């Protein structure tokens, strides 16, 4: 190999450095789109995994979900609450109307339903010679929580509660769990054909004593 001068060695050194730098630059430029694509793919995958958790049909049906829905859509909650209040008001009005009609009917022996209006904590109401216009007749009774109710009827008649709970008075005394209007139903339970305007007696005792 011919002997290189100091100047030639200097040029050769910088030439090699330039070649290496250019090669590194080309490699970096070639890898940059791939790294960017990997980053975009990773971000897309992460976003795709998060989407289902925001969809309503993927949310769990529990209290926290309901609370979040209420928080995000208070208008829908207010509309549901308003509809519920209107329904409760309609039911209360219907109860008031039927109770008023039953109060008027209580003065007659052949009109149903009737209201049994207890004036005392412990009281018995006896209705004799009642006429059953159909195969049954109903009586409304208001009870507080803890009140007891006992019913005695004549033969061929069955007595039971039908609302808001069911109870057969052949099983004894009924105890109310909450304040409400309770519906007592008496119906013909004889073996022969139900006669028209069947006559019967009924005694309804609220919080009965030993003598009732």
pLDDT at 173: 95
pLDDT at 102: 76
In which residue ranges of the chain is pLDDT below 50? 1, 10, 33-62, 66, 69
User: What does the H/E/C string look like for 89-123?
Assistant: HHHHHHHHHHHHHHHHHCCCCCCCCEECCCCCCCE
pLDDT at 81: 74
pLDDT tens across 105-161, in order? 788 889 999 999 888 888 999 999 999 988 899 999 999 999 999 999 998 999 999
Place of tokens 């008496």: 186
At 44, list the tokens: 């897309």
| DSSP string of 20-70, one letter each residue | HHHHHHHHHHHHHHHHHHHHHHHHHHHHHHHGGGGSGGGS--SHHHHHHHH
pTM of the model: 0.57
pLDDT at 116: 92
Task: Report yes or no: 98 and 181 within 8 Å, Cβ to Cβ.
Answer: no
pLDDT at 178: 95
Give the residues across from 125 on adjacent strands.
Answer: 204
* Cα distance between residue 44 and residue 164, in whole Å: 57
Distances, alpha carbon 126 to alpha carbons 22, 34, 130, 176, in Å:
113, 95, 10, 21
């Amino acid at each position: 190999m011919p002997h290189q001068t100091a100047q030639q060695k200097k040029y050769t050194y910088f030439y090699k450095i330039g070649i290496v730098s250019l090669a590194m630059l080309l490699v970096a430029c070639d890898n940059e789109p791939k790294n960017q694509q990997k980053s975009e793919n990773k971000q897309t995958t992460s976003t795709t995994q998060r989407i289902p958790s925001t969809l309503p049909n993927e949310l769990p049906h529990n209290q926290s979900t309901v609370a979040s829905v209420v928080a995000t859509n208070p208008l829908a909650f207010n509309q549901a609450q308003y509809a519920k209040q209107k329904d409760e008001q309609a039911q209360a009005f219907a109860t008031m109307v039927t109770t008023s009609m039953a109060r008027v009917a209580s003065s007659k022996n052949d009109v149903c339903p009737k209201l049994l209006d207890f004036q005392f904590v412990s009281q018995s109401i006896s209705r004799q010679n009642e006429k059953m216009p159909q195969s049954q007749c109903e009586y409304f009774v208001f009870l507080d929580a803890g009140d007891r109710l006992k019913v005695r009827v004549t033969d061929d008649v069955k007595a039971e509660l039908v609302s808001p709970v069911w109870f057969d008075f052949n099983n004894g005394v009924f105890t109310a769990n909450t304040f409400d209007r309770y519906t007592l139903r008496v119906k013909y339970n004889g073996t022969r054909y139900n006669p028209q305007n069947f006559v019967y007696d009924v005694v309804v005792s609220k919080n009965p004593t030993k003598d009732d």
